[in-house]
Structure 1
Amino acid sequence: MRYPQAHAAKSGSIPFALRGPRSMRKVLSVAVAAAVGLAPTVMFTSPAYADPAVIQVSTATATEGGDLQFTITRAASPDNLAVSVSLSLAPGEAPAATAGSDYVNSVPSSVSVTGTGAFSRTITVRTIDDALFEGSTPETVVLTATPAGGSAIEKIGTINDNDDAPGYTITSNSPVTEANGAKAVITAKLDAPSAFETVVTLSTTPGTAATGAGRDYTDIDPDHDTITIAPGKTSGTLDIPIGKDNTRDSAETENFTVNASAEAAKVAAPANTSAQVSIVDIDPLPKVDIDDSAETDGSEADGSVAVPLKLSHASDKNVTVRWDAGAPAAKVEGHEPATPGTDFAYPASTQRTVTFLPRDVEEDASISITDDSLFEADEDFGISLASPTNAELGTESKLDFTILDDDSGEKPTVTIETASVDEGNAGRTARTITAKLDKPSGSPVKVNYTVEASGTDPEDASPVKDFVAKTGTLTFPAGSTSQTFTVDIVGDTIDEQNTTGDGPVDGEFFKVDFSGPVNVLPGSAAEILIKDDDDKPKVTFDDIKLPEGNATTAVLVPVKLSNASSHALTFEFEDAGTGTAQSTDTGVGGGDYTMGGATIVVRPETTSGFGVMLLNGDQINEMDETLNLSLTPDSDSDDYLYSSAEETATVSIDNDDKAPELKINDVTGQEGESVPATATVTGVSDQPMTVTVTFAGASVKGAKAADAADFTNPGNQTITVDPGTEPGSQIPIADVLLTDDEANEPNETIRVSGTSLGNFGTVLEGSVTIAASDGGKPEEPGAPTITTPAAAIKGAGNATISGKAKAGATVDLWGAPFGSDAKPAKIKSVVANSSGAYTFTHKISQGFIFQTSVGELVSKQLAVRVTQVPALTATSPSKGNFTVTVTGNPKAAGQDILVQSWVSGEWKTVYKGKTAGNGVYSISKKLTSGKSLTFRAFVAGDTGVGILGGWSASKKVTVK
């Protein structure tokens, strides 16, 4: 074909047309262009064969989600003719983009190119952002532009992926409980979809779980076991079989590791990962039993027996169990129990332990049987399983086994080996006695024993006191030649010396005898010595210190031994005569003690004996005194004592009586009277008490102090209370003359006090009261006189008051008790007789102040006191008893009482006390029958109320 010259000149190209397949056309166009040195263009001819128009198409590039923009252009030319260009869009070569998922095919089917000017048209293809990893190589589409009547132009559109490679993980359904058909599901998961097929290769690494046939899980074949995740998918799975292995695993939960690897170009780093799978074991602890095939008997000659043991199922751990031997569960008639360690070997528990290695279910317990030459019965013992580790005992964990005997022999003889036992010092001590067989027996041996006294001789021990008698049975297990039993030996500290001097070993014997032998011959009875381990006793003769007391008391003088002797020990007990105390009654305070028996005996097996002396207590104040005693063992006792030297002891008698007390009595008198000042003695002494008494006007109990002119002071008076002066004795001091003056005065007092010389004894002050006076005016004419026949009546009774008044006058009697602040009260009235005489009687039980009056005319005051007249009874109501009763007159509760007895020519105070609530004092004592006593009693007065103390008549009593 020839082309117009003009076109060639203008365009610089030779237009030609190519026909044929698109790929061929493309190749030829490039070749022709190269041959002529031109850029390739395609010339399209119009139907009228006008000048072809040169159409150009650009390539396009975009990142997914953006637009591909192809541009169709034609240069300006006056020769341009209108042309229609058909368009089509198709996937490019691999990797080819896919319409609908990678791009939207919205290209128009054609475009029209018109006009002679420059032409440009953009064709836009929308790409799809698909969130799908498509690798680093872009995908392509091909835009084909075909001018009418011309050849197609193909341009490539490149779509770049904007998605990162997905990461991935693997997981499992862990934990998985083992079971038939159980499986671990391994899941590989991408975190984003991929356009590629993702292959995850798996392998396993054992942990605590084990792989293999019949084990915990089935291992993975890394050449075949993969997970393939299809393009666009995000996960895939693989199953790993989990086995039911019927084995107790090492741990309740075991594990293994699944390793994963993927193609690095298709996944994000890291390409390798792993997951752990846990398997939960459901197999219980295995049970360990004795197998049913175990033998139940065997001969001594067999040497050993193997006891088969089995586990109910295997364990991944070592299983241990110990076999123990004991009594059989069932007793077989004629059989004897076998003895561990003798009839069969019985090592330490660690050597009786059977171990099942992991997954082992059968083992044997081996027991060595002793082949002896003894005659014995068939012997049984029980085998029991115990202390399993990593297992439990099953229901068949015990077995009785019989050792069959094939020997014969003779009976042994039993004897006592022990010759002596220690005694000890206190309580019961179990001492071991050993019995021996002269040879071993293949059968158990039994024999009864009796522990009893050997006899009644001094060297024979006494049941209960020295030992405890008993009976019992000794059992010698087969093969044993020695057995023991205990006897309670009663320890003491008694010296049980059998001979004097240095004799043989001291002690006492008891006996052990045999009876009721079984499979044994009894030996002779044995005597066993209880060895004495005690020293000869040492003697202690201690000093004694005790108060004197007020009556005769028996004093036990102890002799003490450091420990007892089995012999009676006799001592001479005497008064050394060198003390200050007196055994004779030679004066006041004499007769301090009376010696008792001349010997003291310490009985066998005791540690003390007592001498007796009488301590004659009294109420006499005296110096502390001593009595020296001597103690000497007699000749029969010398050899049984540590020392036979004389011992001495001092008895100190402490005085417990107070020094005498002198109480100055209160007294009341009228002006013009001479009042006797007296004192009452309390207590008695064996030495004189000297006091100085003084008189001085002073206020006593709130009364007015008497002036010097109110009385005549007798001056200082020295009074001596002689030794032995009885309590309650009235001691005269001096008479005090009360001045009768004409002053109208109230009661006035004179204090009478004293001081003991040598600080021995005490003086309690008293007072003289001058009764209130109207001034001592001369009696008015017609005033009555007043007098009494007794200034002190004996005991409670009538006081007689008499006097003179005007004949026929009415005379009133007034009075008030001593010690009362009350004014005199009118008591009664009488009429004076024709001579003016009158008389009153008035019953009083204490001192009284009387006064009479006739009208306004009043007599002087007159005091009448009461002297105690005690009633004493002394009786002997029964054999060896006597009773003394004292009642005061006047009678009152709380009165001080002294009872004296006539002893050795003088009165001695023997009892003191107070009257009870009924006003009576009573005391009962024991005394030797036939003895006679003479008593008298003193009841103290109370001068403050006008009562003077007094003695009773004496009474004699003979004890029945």
Structure 2
Amino acid sequence: MHEAILLLAVHSARSTRWIRKAKSWDFTTAAKHALIQLLGESRGAAMRALALIFGLGIATAAVASETSTYSYDARGRLIDVSRSGSVNNGIATCYSLDQADNRSNVTIATSPCTVTPPASFSISDGTATEGGSLVFTVTRTGSPGTSLNVNYATTNGTATAGSDYTAASGSLTFTSSDVSKTISVTSTADSAVEGTENLFVNLSDPTGGAVLADYHAAGTIADDDGAGLPSFAVNDASATEGGLLTFTVTKTGTTPDTVVVFFEAANGTAYAGSDYQYIDNSSQLTFGPAETAKTITIQTIDDALTQGGVVMYINLIGAWGGTISDGQGVGTINDDEYAVACNGNSFTTANSGAVAEGAQSQFTVTRSGTATIGCSVNYATANGTATQPSDYTAKSGTLTFSPGVTTQNVFVNTTEDAIVESTETFSMSLSAPTSGATLGTPSTAAATINDDDVSGPCSGITFAAGDASAVEGGSLTFSVTKSGTTSNSCSVNYATADDSADSAGDYFATSGTLTFTSAETTKTLVVATRQNNFFEETEYFFLNLSSPTTGADITDAQGVGTILDDDEDPCPNC
């Protein structure tokens, strides 16, 4: 009776008569707390009535030596209880929350209470080759010592119950000690080429207040008839803007079934809406058993911009009943303004003049006319009486002239040799000017290579010096090599020269002439070093070759001599 009048009082908060009557009754602290929780979802007026009835207010003393503070949100709902001071009545209050963090229960006890989270169930995915069993594992977490049940049932995905698998449903019972159980779903073996398929297992209706942490599992059935799956490939395509890009998708292999290929368009440097028309990215091609090729057409958009070629892509993103062997086609959209943007421009070339062998020959390419874009032209060298690589290094490439640039140079290396030969020539030609530009006159220029070799008894002979090293106090052995053939003896002079090592304190200087008979190809020179007793860094000197016999040449005129110190560093960490 008291509780009924109390409820009437709080729901008639403006009636002081009921509030005065309710205040005359004796409610225990526990009852007050329970009633507060019971009415915790009431509006603010109801909670203000409770404050008047119980004398609690928003923060009041529950008992003389204990303070309980109740906090409410703007709608008058209780959202927090805190206490301070000593406890003399043993009252403990415990709240439990549901999965959306809403209060679902309140417990008033004479001893501290503990909130135990509810048990939860989750299920893992399963896989099998058709004809095998898919095994799904259901795991229970929490509430040990309690027996719980949870239901399960299969549902179709791309796999169909009856033809691809046997439907399964039921209930799993977890005893107090069980933490996991399995569900087995049998797939159906067949001879159809159908690709990978899937099904699902869903959990429902857990008992004992348990919740579903992960109720949905996917089962994958791999087709074992896939050796005969057809494959699909898409080619590249190109078109001038405003035209159609036509991609061909080709099927390789056979199947008695219809196969569906899914595709989508993707931006590259070309963008849907401005360079080509948007297509639905859920597009598909359907191939009948006898069909081997189908086309995808993309309408390009003509604009007034001079921007050069741009690209977009067609991607094959999957095939139901088949595989993808080449999944991307590149669509090139050629700019029709760019094709004539260099109209009125022309390119010519000229050579700077004859060079001695071993030097660089310079060609100058000149553009006449103006353009708002870069205009390009190709170039390539070609043999004359000079041939590559024995007389020069071939070179080719593309020169792009930005707006305002009128000349560019191409440098070609010529080859130094010891052969006495006549003056030789090669050429460089221009080709393939872009965007409406043309070739002027001349578009080909000749380069001249002058021979720097002298005819003599050792024509065709070359000398080269090698490097050497030794620890101080030892000797360095340099090798001098002769290349080429002659029936004559040929000579070359040699002499040492200081670098960081000096002949006064580090090595013994030497000089002279090496003479090679017609059959000799290598001679050695020994240079002795000087021993000392003080630490010094590694030091170097040179062996230089000069003045070969008339007609001979020197290809490597300097050998490097390295002297390694054998004295201990007095301060290795300095």
Do the two structures share a fold, i.e. TM-score over 0.5? Answer: no
TM-score by length of 2: 0.27
Choose 1 or 2 for highest CA Rg: 1
TM-score, length of structure 1 as denominator length: 0.19
